[in-house]
Amino acid sequence: MSGLLVMLGLGALAAIMSAAGMPLAPVVLGIVMGKIVEQTLMQSLISTQGDLLAFFDRPASMVLGCLTLALWGGVLIKAALRLWVRAAPRQAQ
């Protein structure tokens, strides 16, 4: 019975997100991969004794990490600038 309720709840969430124009793929990936990613992250943190910089030891992981941070930063800066421009008083021409 609980599986049926979960299915109905996720179906309702998908319908609401679809009606709002939001993509469903990130939610599906999060539901499917969430537990696996969390377990793997915990194993990695235990093996490195909680050192987050160990993820950037190798050049390939360093490049991917920097690209990820740059993309996140770009999105955040773009959103902040959009809000700042929208909030700025409009000058009469």
User: Is pLDDT at 92 greater than 80 in this prediction?
Assistant: no
Residue written as tokens 């093996």?
Answer: 47
Residues 6 or more apart whose Cβ sits within 8 Å of residue 87: none
| pLDDT for residue 93 is more than 70 | no
How far is Cα 51 from Cα 88, in angstroms, rounded to an integer?
42
Length of the chain: 93
Q: What are phi and psi of 2, to 5 degrees?
A: -70, -35
Q: Is the pLDDT of residue 85 over 80?
A: yes
Render pLDDT for 19-62 as a digit per residue (tens, 0 to 9). Answer: 999 999 998 899 899 999 999 999 999 999 988 888 888 999 99
- Between 90 and 22, where is the model more confident? 22
At residue 75 the predicted structure's pLDDT band, cuts being 50, 70 and 90, is very high
Own/partner contacts of 5-9, CB < 8 Å, gap of 24 or more, are none
